[in-house]
Chains A and B, each alone.
Chain A
Protein backbone atom coordinates (compact mmCIF):
# COMPACT_ATOMS: atom_id res chain seq x y z
CA UNK A 1 0.00 0.00 0.00
CA UNK A 2 2.82 2.31 0.92
CA UNK A 3 4.58 1.54 -2.27
CA UNK A 4 1.55 2.26 -4.32
CA UNK A 5 1.09 5.61 -2.63
CA UNK A 6 4.63 6.48 -3.42
CA UNK A 7 4.24 5.71 -7.07
CA UNK A 8 1.12 7.81 -7.18
CA UNK A 9 2.96 10.76 -5.74
CA UNK A 10 5.72 10.25 -8.21
CA UNK A 11 3.39 10.48 -11.11
CA UNK A 12 1.45 13.45 -9.83
CA UNK A 13 4.53 15.44 -9.01
CA UNK A 14 6.58 14.39 -12.00
CA UNK A 15 6.83 15.92 -15.41
CA UNK A 16 6.02 12.64 -17.13
CA UNK A 17 3.35 12.91 -19.73
CA UNK A 18 1.47 9.85 -20.72
CA UNK A 19 1.66 8.75 -24.31
CA UNK A 20 0.42 5.65 -25.95
CA UNK A 21 2.30 2.77 -24.54
CA UNK A 22 4.96 4.89 -22.86
CA UNK A 23 6.14 3.38 -19.63
CA UNK A 24 8.38 4.20 -16.74
CA UNK A 25 10.23 2.28 -14.13
CA UNK A 26 9.54 3.12 -10.52
CA UNK A 27 12.02 2.69 -7.71
CA UNK A 28 10.46 -0.64 -6.80
CA UNK A 29 10.86 -1.92 -10.34
CA UNK A 30 7.14 -1.79 -11.13
CA UNK A 31 6.13 -0.96 -14.71
CA UNK A 32 3.52 1.80 -15.10
CA UNK A 33 1.99 2.08 -18.54
CA UNK A 34 0.70 5.39 -19.87
CA UNK A 35 -1.84 5.10 -22.55
CA UNK A 36 -3.85 7.56 -24.58
CA UNK A 37 -6.95 5.47 -24.74
CA UNK A 38 -9.74 5.95 -27.25
CA UNK A 39 -12.21 5.79 -24.39
CA UNK A 40 -12.57 7.57 -21.05
CA UNK A 41 -11.36 5.67 -18.04
CA UNK A 42 -13.47 5.19 -14.94
CA UNK A 43 -12.20 7.15 -11.98
CA UNK A 44 -14.59 5.87 -9.36
CA UNK A 45 -17.93 4.20 -9.05
CA UNK A 46 -21.05 5.61 -7.51
CA UNK A 47 -23.28 2.63 -6.72
CA UNK A 48 -23.70 1.17 -10.22
CA UNK A 49 -22.91 4.40 -12.05
CA UNK A 50 -19.39 4.73 -13.39
CA UNK A 51 -17.91 8.19 -13.19
CA UNK A 52 -15.27 8.66 -15.85
CA UNK A 53 -12.58 11.28 -16.09
CA UNK A 54 -14.29 12.94 -19.05
CA UNK A 55 -17.51 13.27 -17.09
CA UNK A 56 -15.59 14.99 -14.30
CA UNK A 57 -14.19 17.41 -16.85
CA UNK A 58 -17.64 18.06 -18.21
CA UNK A 59 -18.84 18.92 -14.72
CA UNK A 60 -16.04 21.41 -14.35
CA UNK A 61 -17.17 23.04 -17.59
CA UNK A 62 -20.78 23.15 -16.41
CA UNK A 63 -19.70 24.78 -13.16
CA UNK A 64 -17.62 27.33 -15.05
CA UNK A 65 -20.50 28.21 -17.34
CA UNK A 66 -22.95 28.50 -14.45
CA UNK A 67 -20.53 30.78 -12.61
CA UNK A 68 -19.95 32.97 -15.64
CA UNK A 69 -23.63 33.19 -16.50
CA UNK A 70 -24.62 34.12 -12.97
CA UNK A 71 -21.94 36.82 -12.88
CA UNK A 72 -23.14 38.20 -16.20
CA UNK A 73 -26.75 38.09 -15.06
CA UNK A 74 -25.91 39.99 -11.89
CA UNK A 75 -23.93 42.64 -13.71
CA UNK A 76 -26.49 43.36 -16.43
CA UNK A 77 -27.34 47.04 -16.71
CA UNK A 78 -28.72 49.23 -19.46
CA UNK A 79 -25.41 51.03 -19.61
CA UNK A 80 -22.90 48.21 -20.02
CA UNK A 81 -19.69 48.02 -18.04
CA UNK A 82 -16.79 45.59 -17.90
CA UNK A 83 -17.74 41.97 -18.43
CA UNK A 84 -21.10 42.88 -19.92
CA UNK A 85 -19.34 44.64 -22.80
CA UNK A 86 -17.47 41.48 -23.75
CA UNK A 87 -20.53 39.31 -23.34
CA UNK A 88 -22.56 41.66 -25.51
CA UNK A 89 -19.85 41.87 -28.14
CA UNK A 90 -19.67 38.07 -28.37
CA UNK A 91 -23.43 37.73 -28.39
CA UNK A 92 -23.89 40.45 -31.01
CA UNK A 93 -21.37 38.99 -33.44
CA UNK A 94 -22.71 35.48 -32.85
CA UNK A 95 -26.23 36.72 -33.54
CA UNK A 96 -25.09 38.40 -36.75
CA UNK A 97 -23.37 35.19 -37.84
CA UNK A 98 -26.52 33.21 -37.07
CA UNK A 99 -28.58 35.77 -39.00
CA UNK A 100 -26.46 35.15 -42.05
CA UNK A 101 -27.49 31.49 -41.87
CA UNK A 102 -31.16 31.82 -41.04
CA UNK A 103 -31.71 35.15 -42.77
CA UNK A 104 -34.24 36.26 -40.20
CA UNK A 105 -33.73 37.56 -36.67
CA UNK A 106 -36.98 36.05 -35.42
CA UNK A 107 -36.00 32.60 -36.57
CA UNK A 108 -32.50 33.14 -35.24
CA UNK A 109 -33.79 33.88 -31.76
CA UNK A 110 -35.54 30.50 -31.73
CA UNK A 111 -32.53 28.42 -32.77
CA UNK A 112 -29.70 30.59 -31.53
CA UNK A 113 -29.72 29.64 -27.82
CA UNK A 114 -29.24 25.97 -28.71
CA UNK A 115 -26.45 26.61 -31.19
CA UNK A 116 -24.75 29.10 -28.86
CA UNK A 117 -24.95 26.73 -25.88
CA UNK A 118 -23.43 23.98 -28.02
CA UNK A 119 -20.66 26.35 -29.10
CA UNK A 120 -19.78 27.44 -25.58
CA UNK A 121 -20.02 23.93 -24.13
CA UNK A 122 -17.81 22.37 -26.80
CA UNK A 123 -15.37 25.27 -26.83
CA UNK A 124 -14.76 25.16 -23.08
CA UNK A 125 -14.49 21.37 -23.16
CA UNK A 126 -11.97 21.52 -26.00
CA UNK A 127 -9.87 24.15 -24.32
CA UNK A 128 -10.04 22.55 -20.91
CA UNK A 129 -8.60 19.41 -22.51
CA UNK A 130 -5.33 21.25 -23.19
CA UNK A 131 -5.25 22.86 -19.75
CA UNK A 132 -2.15 21.91 -17.76
CA UNK A 133 -2.86 19.14 -15.30
CA UNK A 134 -5.69 17.71 -17.32
CA UNK A 135 -4.51 14.32 -18.49
CA UNK A 136 -1.31 14.49 -16.48
CA UNK A 137 -2.60 14.33 -12.91
CA UNK A 138 -4.00 10.97 -11.99
CA UNK A 139 -3.50 7.73 -10.15
CA UNK A 140 -2.18 4.27 -10.88
CA UNK A 141 -4.58 1.42 -11.24
CA UNK A 142 -3.53 -2.21 -10.98
CA UNK A 143 -5.19 -4.41 -13.50
CA UNK A 144 -4.19 -8.02 -13.93
CA UNK A 145 -0.69 -7.50 -12.62
CA UNK A 146 -0.24 -4.38 -14.79
CA UNK A 147 -0.05 -0.87 -13.42
CA UNK A 148 -1.94 1.58 -15.61
CA UNK A 149 -1.88 5.33 -15.19
CA UNK A 150 -5.37 6.84 -15.08
CA UNK A 151 -5.72 10.66 -15.26
CA UNK A 152 -8.38 12.33 -13.15
CA UNK A 153 -9.46 14.55 -16.00
CA UNK A 154 -9.78 14.01 -19.71
CA UNK A 155 -11.01 16.51 -22.26
CA UNK A 156 -14.71 15.79 -22.38
CA UNK A 157 -14.95 16.12 -26.15
CA UNK A 158 -12.24 13.48 -26.49
CA UNK A 159 -14.89 11.03 -25.38
CA UNK A 160 -17.33 9.70 -27.96
CA UNK A 161 -20.07 9.57 -25.34
CA UNK A 162 -20.14 13.36 -25.18
CA UNK A 163 -19.89 14.03 -28.90
CA UNK A 164 -22.41 11.34 -29.76
CA UNK A 165 -24.79 12.71 -27.16
CA UNK A 166 -24.48 16.22 -28.57
CA UNK A 167 -24.83 15.00 -32.15
CA UNK A 168 -27.94 13.01 -31.27
CA UNK A 169 -29.34 16.05 -29.51
CA UNK A 170 -28.63 18.26 -32.51
CA UNK A 171 -30.13 15.92 -35.10
CA UNK A 172 -33.15 14.77 -33.09
CA UNK A 173 -33.68 18.33 -31.89
CA UNK A 174 -33.61 19.70 -35.43
CA UNK A 175 -36.17 17.10 -36.54
CA UNK A 176 -38.47 17.93 -33.64
CA UNK A 177 -38.02 21.61 -34.41
CA UNK A 178 -39.02 20.92 -38.01
CA UNK A 179 -42.13 19.03 -36.94
CA UNK A 180 -43.12 21.85 -34.58
CA UNK A 181 -42.55 24.68 -37.05
CA UNK A 182 -43.91 23.30 -40.32
CA UNK A 183 -46.28 20.65 -39.06
CA UNK A 184 -46.07 16.87 -38.87
CA UNK A 185 -47.56 16.01 -42.28
CA UNK A 186 -45.32 18.37 -44.23
CA UNK A 187 -42.25 17.29 -42.31
CA UNK A 188 -43.11 13.62 -42.62
CA UNK A 189 -43.33 14.04 -46.41
CA UNK A 190 -39.75 15.24 -46.52
CA UNK A 191 -38.72 11.66 -45.83
CA UNK A 192 -41.61 9.38 -46.74
CA UNK A 193 -42.99 11.35 -49.63
CA UNK A 194 -46.60 10.16 -49.82
CA UNK A 195 -47.62 13.56 -51.14
CA UNK A 196 -45.57 12.98 -54.28
CA UNK A 197 -47.55 9.84 -55.05
CA UNK A 198 -50.89 11.42 -54.17
CA UNK A 199 -50.13 14.27 -56.59
CA UNK A 200 -49.66 11.97 -59.61
CA UNK A 201 -53.33 11.34 -60.49
CA UNK A 202 -54.18 15.02 -60.11
CA UNK A 203 -51.48 16.48 -62.30
CA UNK A 204 -50.80 13.66 -64.76
CA UNK A 205 -52.92 15.25 -67.50
CA UNK A 206 -51.14 18.57 -67.31
CA UNK A 207 -47.60 17.28 -67.09
CA UNK A 208 -47.19 13.60 -67.89
CA UNK A 209 -43.53 13.59 -66.82
CA UNK A 210 -44.71 13.69 -63.24
CA UNK A 211 -45.01 9.93 -63.29
CA UNK A 212 -41.23 9.71 -63.51
CA UNK A 213 -40.32 12.75 -61.47
CA UNK A 214 -42.33 12.13 -58.34
CA UNK A 215 -41.12 8.57 -57.63
CA UNK A 216 -37.61 9.97 -57.87
CA UNK A 217 -38.61 12.65 -55.38
CA UNK A 218 -39.91 9.95 -53.06
CA UNK A 219 -36.66 8.04 -53.40
CA UNK A 220 -34.67 11.17 -52.58
CA UNK A 221 -36.77 11.47 -49.42
CA UNK A 222 -35.74 8.00 -48.35
CA UNK A 223 -32.10 8.92 -48.93
CA UNK A 224 -32.65 11.88 -46.58
CA UNK A 225 -33.32 9.41 -43.77
CA UNK A 226 -29.88 7.93 -44.31
CA UNK A 227 -28.61 11.51 -44.40
CA UNK A 228 -29.98 12.12 -40.90
CA UNK A 229 -28.09 9.10 -39.58
CA UNK A 230 -24.98 10.23 -41.41
CA UNK A 231 -25.31 13.64 -39.77
CA UNK A 232 -25.07 12.02 -36.34
CA UNK A 233 -22.01 10.03 -37.33
CA UNK A 234 -20.23 12.92 -39.04
CA UNK A 235 -20.91 15.41 -36.22
CA UNK A 236 -19.84 13.09 -33.43
CA UNK A 237 -16.79 11.54 -35.08
CA UNK A 238 -15.49 14.81 -36.50
CA UNK A 239 -15.39 16.47 -33.11
CA UNK A 240 -14.14 13.39 -31.29
CA UNK A 241 -11.47 12.69 -33.90
CA UNK A 242 -10.12 16.20 -33.95
CA UNK A 243 -9.86 16.62 -30.21
CA UNK A 244 -8.54 13.15 -29.54
CA UNK A 245 -5.97 13.55 -32.29
CA UNK A 246 -4.96 16.84 -30.71
CA UNK A 247 -4.31 15.16 -27.39
CA UNK A 248 -2.29 12.40 -29.00
CA UNK A 249 -0.35 14.99 -30.99
CA UNK A 250 0.49 17.01 -27.88
CA UNK A 251 1.54 13.86 -26.03
CA UNK A 252 3.71 12.77 -28.93
CA UNK A 253 5.40 16.17 -29.13
CA UNK A 254 6.01 16.11 -25.40
CA UNK A 255 7.71 12.75 -25.71
CA UNK A 256 10.02 14.04 -28.44
CA UNK A 257 11.01 17.06 -26.37
CA UNK A 258 8.99 18.10 -23.34
CA UNK A 259 10.01 21.79 -23.31
CA UNK A 260 9.13 24.53 -25.81
CA UNK A 261 8.40 22.10 -28.65
CA UNK A 262 4.75 21.46 -27.68
CA UNK A 263 3.97 25.19 -27.44
CA UNK A 264 3.18 25.84 -31.13
CA UNK A 265 1.07 22.71 -31.15
CA UNK A 266 -0.80 23.96 -28.12
CA UNK A 267 -1.68 27.11 -30.04
CA UNK A 268 -2.72 24.90 -32.93
CA UNK A 269 -4.95 22.96 -30.56
CA UNK A 270 -6.48 26.18 -29.26
CA UNK A 271 -7.39 27.09 -32.84
CA UNK A 272 -8.65 23.59 -33.58
CA UNK A 273 -10.75 23.78 -30.43
CA UNK A 274 -12.51 26.98 -31.46
CA UNK A 275 -12.90 25.86 -35.09
CA UNK A 276 -14.41 22.52 -34.15
CA UNK A 277 -16.80 24.18 -31.70
CA UNK A 278 -17.78 26.68 -34.39
CA UNK A 279 -18.30 23.94 -36.99
CA UNK A 280 -20.47 21.89 -34.67
CA UNK A 281 -22.56 24.90 -33.69
CA UNK A 282 -22.91 26.21 -37.25
CA UNK A 283 -23.92 22.78 -38.55
CA UNK A 284 -26.50 22.49 -35.79
CA UNK A 285 -27.80 25.92 -36.75
CA UNK A 286 -27.97 24.90 -40.40
CA UNK A 287 -29.76 21.63 -39.60
CA UNK A 288 -32.30 23.47 -37.50
CA UNK A 289 -32.95 26.17 -40.07
CA UNK A 290 -33.20 23.63 -42.93
CA UNK A 291 -35.66 21.61 -40.88
CA UNK A 292 -37.76 24.72 -40.38
CA UNK A 293 -38.10 25.46 -44.12
CA UNK A 294 -41.07 23.75 -45.65
CA UNK A 295 -40.00 23.78 -49.30
CA UNK A 296 -38.11 20.70 -50.45
CA UNK A 297 -35.44 21.36 -53.09
Chain B
Protein backbone atom coordinates (compact mmCIF):
# COMPACT_ATOMS: atom_id res chain seq x y z
CA UNK B 1 0.00 0.00 0.00
CA UNK B 2 2.83 2.35 0.93
CA UNK B 3 4.48 1.47 -2.32
CA UNK B 4 1.36 2.47 -4.25
CA UNK B 5 1.04 5.74 -2.37
CA UNK B 6 4.68 6.53 -3.04
CA UNK B 7 4.61 5.59 -6.73
CA UNK B 8 1.49 7.57 -7.55
CA UNK B 9 2.14 10.41 -5.10
CA UNK B 10 -1.20 9.99 -3.43
CA UNK B 11 -1.82 12.88 -1.11
CA UNK B 12 -5.07 12.96 0.86
CA UNK B 13 -5.10 16.75 0.62
CA UNK B 14 -5.03 16.58 -3.17
CA UNK B 15 -7.55 13.79 -3.16
CA UNK B 16 -9.93 15.87 -1.09
CA UNK B 17 -9.27 18.90 -3.28
CA UNK B 18 -10.27 16.86 -6.34
CA UNK B 19 -13.33 15.58 -4.51
CA UNK B 20 -14.28 19.15 -3.66
CA UNK B 21 -13.91 20.01 -7.33
CA UNK B 22 -16.19 17.15 -8.23
CA UNK B 23 -18.60 18.21 -5.50
CA UNK B 24 -18.79 21.68 -7.01
CA UNK B 25 -19.38 20.15 -10.45
CA UNK B 26 -22.11 17.90 -9.08
CA UNK B 27 -23.84 20.75 -7.31
CA UNK B 28 -23.60 23.17 -10.21
CA UNK B 29 -24.73 20.64 -12.79
CA UNK B 30 -27.62 19.51 -10.65
CA UNK B 31 -28.72 22.97 -9.62
CA UNK B 32 -28.23 24.85 -12.89
CA UNK B 33 -28.54 22.27 -15.62
CA UNK B 34 -30.12 18.93 -14.80
CA UNK B 35 -32.90 20.04 -12.46
CA UNK B 36 -34.24 23.02 -14.44
CA UNK B 37 -33.82 21.22 -17.75
CA UNK B 38 -35.62 18.13 -16.51
CA UNK B 39 -38.35 20.34 -15.11
CA UNK B 40 -38.77 22.22 -18.37
CA UNK B 41 -38.77 18.99 -20.37
CA UNK B 42 -41.34 17.43 -18.07
CA UNK B 43 -43.49 20.53 -18.24
CA UNK B 44 -43.24 20.66 -22.00
CA UNK B 45 -44.25 17.05 -22.45
CA UNK B 46 -47.19 17.67 -20.15
CA UNK B 47 -48.12 20.79 -22.09
CA UNK B 48 -47.95 18.96 -25.38
CA UNK B 49 -50.12 16.18 -24.04
CA UNK B 50 -52.62 18.67 -22.70
CA UNK B 51 -52.77 20.72 -25.87
CA UNK B 52 -53.24 17.58 -27.94
CA UNK B 53 -56.14 16.62 -25.73
CA UNK B 54 -57.54 20.14 -25.96
CA UNK B 55 -57.24 20.12 -29.73
CA UNK B 56 -59.20 16.89 -29.88
CA UNK B 57 -61.86 18.36 -27.63
CA UNK B 58 -62.07 21.51 -29.71
CA UNK B 59 -62.42 19.47 -32.87
CA UNK B 60 -65.22 17.47 -31.33
CA UNK B 61 -66.96 20.62 -30.19
CA UNK B 62 -66.59 22.11 -33.63
CA UNK B 63 -68.13 19.09 -35.27
CA UNK B 64 -70.94 19.15 -32.76
CA UNK B 65 -71.70 22.82 -33.28
CA UNK B 66 -71.50 22.38 -37.04
CA UNK B 67 -74.10 19.63 -36.82
CA UNK B 68 -76.27 21.76 -34.59
CA UNK B 69 -76.03 24.66 -36.97
CA UNK B 70 -77.04 22.50 -39.88
CA UNK B 71 -79.95 21.15 -37.91
CA UNK B 72 -81.06 24.63 -37.02
CA UNK B 73 -80.77 25.82 -40.57
CA UNK B 74 -82.82 22.87 -41.75
CA UNK B 75 -85.46 23.57 -39.18
CA UNK B 76 -85.57 27.24 -40.09
CA UNK B 77 -85.92 26.36 -43.74
CA UNK B 78 -88.81 24.06 -42.96
CA UNK B 79 -90.51 26.68 -40.86
CA UNK B 80 -90.06 29.30 -43.54
CA UNK B 81 -91.61 26.95 -46.08
CA UNK B 82 -94.56 26.40 -43.81
CA UNK B 83 -95.01 30.08 -43.24
CA UNK B 84 -94.88 30.77 -46.95
CA UNK B 85 -97.43 28.07 -47.65
CA UNK B 86 -99.71 29.36 -44.96
CA UNK B 87 -99.42 32.86 -46.29
CA UNK B 88 -100.18 31.68 -49.77
CA UNK B 89 -103.23 29.83 -48.60
CA UNK B 90 -104.41 32.75 -46.57
CA UNK B 91 -103.87 35.11 -49.45
CA UNK B 92 -105.90 32.93 -51.75
CA UNK B 93 -108.64 32.63 -49.21
CA UNK B 94 -108.69 36.33 -48.59
CA UNK B 95 -108.75 37.24 -52.26
CA UNK B 96 -111.57 34.82 -52.78
CA UNK B 97 -113.44 36.34 -49.91
CA UNK B 98 -112.88 39.83 -51.19
CA UNK B 99 -114.08 38.85 -54.64
CA UNK B 100 -117.13 37.17 -53.14
CA UNK B 101 -117.95 40.19 -51.05
CA UNK B 102 -117.57 42.43 -54.01
CA UNK B 103 -119.85 40.22 -56.04
CA UNK B 104 -122.44 40.21 -53.26
CA UNK B 105 -122.33 43.93 -52.96
CA UNK B 106 -122.65 44.38 -56.64
CA UNK B 107 -125.66 42.10 -56.68
CA UNK B 108 -127.17 43.95 -53.74
CA UNK B 109 -126.61 47.21 -55.44
CA UNK B 110 -128.21 45.92 -58.59
CA UNK B 111 -131.20 44.65 -56.64
CA UNK B 112 -131.72 47.89 -54.76
CA UNK B 113 -131.32 49.86 -57.94
CA UNK B 114 -133.99 47.70 -59.61
CA UNK B 115 -136.30 48.16 -56.66
CA UNK B 116 -135.85 51.84 -56.73
CA UNK B 117 -136.49 51.94 -60.43
CA UNK B 118 -139.72 49.97 -60.11
CA UNK B 119 -140.85 52.10 -57.18
CA UNK B 120 -140.13 55.25 -59.05
CA UNK B 121 -141.92 53.85 -62.07
CA UNK B 122 -144.99 53.01 -60.01
CA UNK B 123 -144.98 56.35 -58.34
CA UNK B 124 -144.68 57.99 -61.70
CA UNK B 125 -147.55 55.94 -63.00
CA UNK B 126 -149.62 56.79 -59.96
CA UNK B 127 -148.86 60.43 -60.32
CA UNK B 128 -149.55 60.26 -64.03
CA UNK B 129 -152.89 58.50 -63.36
CA UNK B 130 -153.96 61.03 -60.80
CA UNK B 131 -152.86 63.84 -63.08
CA UNK B 132 -154.59 62.21 -65.99
CA UNK B 133 -157.80 61.65 -63.97
CA UNK B 134 -157.77 65.21 -62.80
CA UNK B 135 -157.16 66.43 -66.32
CA UNK B 136 -159.96 64.24 -67.69
CA UNK B 137 -162.32 65.30 -64.91
CA UNK B 138 -161.52 68.90 -65.41
CA UNK B 139 -161.88 68.56 -69.17
CA UNK B 140 -165.12 66.63 -68.93
CA UNK B 141 -166.42 69.04 -66.25
CA UNK B 142 -165.76 71.89 -68.49
CA UNK B 143 -167.53 70.09 -71.34
CA UNK B 144 -170.40 68.91 -69.21
CA UNK B 145 -170.92 72.27 -67.47
CA UNK B 146 -172.02 73.39 -70.75
CA UNK B 147 -174.18 70.34 -71.53
CA UNK B 148 -176.00 68.30 -68.77
CA UNK B 149 -176.50 67.32 -65.26
CA UNK B 150 -173.77 67.05 -62.75
CA UNK B 151 -174.51 63.51 -61.43
CA UNK B 152 -174.69 62.03 -64.87
CA UNK B 153 -171.55 63.59 -65.82
CA UNK B 154 -169.72 62.21 -62.84
CA UNK B 155 -171.06 58.80 -63.62
CA UNK B 156 -169.86 58.87 -67.11
CA UNK B 157 -166.45 60.04 -66.04
CA UNK B 158 -166.06 57.31 -63.45
CA UNK B 159 -167.16 54.71 -65.99
CA UNK B 160 -164.83 55.87 -68.57
CA UNK B 161 -161.96 55.99 -66.13
CA UNK B 162 -162.54 52.51 -64.78
CA UNK B 163 -160.11 50.73 -66.97
CA UNK B 164 -157.39 53.03 -65.79
CA UNK B 165 -158.13 53.19 -62.11
CA UNK B 166 -158.32 49.91 -60.37
Q: Do A and B come from one complex?
A: yes
Given A78-B47, A109-B38, A161-B15, are A120 and B25 neighbors across the interface (CB < 8 Å)?
A: yes
Q: At the interface, yes or no: B10 with Cβ under 8 Å from chain A?
A: yes
Instruction: Give me 12 A-to-B residue pairs in the complex whose CB atoms sit less than 8 angstroms apart, sorted by A's number.
Output: A38-B7, A39-B7, A55-B14, A55-B18, A62-B25, A73-B33, A109-B38, A117-B26, A161-B10, A162-B15, A165-B18, A166-B19
Q: Within the complex, what minimum Cβ distance (angstroms) separates A142 from chain B? A: 20
Partner of B9 from A40, A73, A78, A95 at Cβ < 8 Å? A40
How far is A168 from B7 in the complex, measured between Cα atoms in Å?
A: 19
Q: How far is B38's CA from A196's CA once the two chains are assembled, in angstroms?
A: 42
Please, which residues of chain B bring their CB within 8 A of the CB of A156?
A: 18
| In the complex, chain B residues 30-60 whose Cβ is within 8 Å of any chain A Cβ | 30-38, 40-41, 43-44, 47
Contact A58 B9 (CB under 8 A): no
Give the interface segment out of A85-93, A133-141, A246-254: A85-93
A80 CA / B11 CA spacing, docked (Å):
45
Q: Are A39 and B13 in contact (CB under 8 A)?
A: no
Number of residues of chain A lying within 8 A (CB) of chain B: 49
B24 touches A70 (CB 8 A): no
Query: Is B29 an interface position by the 8 A CB rule?
Result: yes
From DSSP, what is the main secondary structure of chain A's interface residues? Answer: helix
| A70–B28 CA distance with the chains assembled, in angstroms | 8
With contacts A72-B32, A72-B33, A91-B34 taken as known, whether A165 is within 8 angstroms of B22 at the C-beta atoms is: yes
How many Cβ-Cβ contacts under 8 Å join chain A to chain B?
A: 121
Task: Determine whether B130 belongs to the interface, using a CB cutoff of 8 Å to chain A.
Answer: no
Q: Which of B10, B16, B17, B43 contacts A78 (CB 8 A)?
A: B43
Task: Select A91's contact among B10, B16, B28, B37, beta carbons within 8 Å.
Answer: B37
Q: A65 and B13 in contact (CB under 8 A), knowing A38-B7, A88-B37, A165-B18?
A: no
Does A113 reach chain B (CB closer than 8 Å)? yes
A residues in contact with B19, CB < 8 Å:
165-166, 168-169
Q: Are B29 and A113 in contact (CB under 8 A)?
A: yes
Chain B at the A interface: mostly helix, strand, loop or mixed? helix
Does A121 interact with chain B (Cβ within 8 Å)? yes
Min distance, Cβ A20 to any Cβ of chain B, angstroms: 15
Interface residues of A in 103-157 (CB under 8 A from B): 109, 112-114, 116-118, 120-121, 156
Indicate with 1 or 0, residue by residue over A64-106, a CB within 8 angstroms of chain B CB atoms: 0110111011001110100010011001100100000000000
Q: CA of A40 to CA of B9 in the docked complex: distance in angstroms?
A: 7
Most chain A C-beta atoms within 10 Å of own C-beta, residue among B11, B14, B19, B34: B14
* Per-residue B-contact encoding for A158-195, CB less than 8 Å = 1, 0 else: 01111011101100000000000000000000000000
Closest to A166 in B: B22
Closest to B40 in A: A76
The yes or no answer to A50 lying at the interface (CB within 8 A) is: yes
Contact call A160/B34, Cβ cutoff below 8 A: no
A49 part of interface (Cβ distance < 8 Å): yes
- Closest Cβ–Cβ distance, residue A224 to chain B (whole Å): 21
Contact B8 A70 (CB under 8 A): no
Beyond the given pairs A49-B17, A87-B33, 13 more chain A to chain B contacts, judged by CB atoms under 8 angstroms and listed by A's residue number, are A39-B9, A58-B17, A73-B33, A76-B36, A80-B40, A91-B33, A116-B29, A120-B25, A159-B18, A160-B10, A161-B9, A161-B11, A165-B18
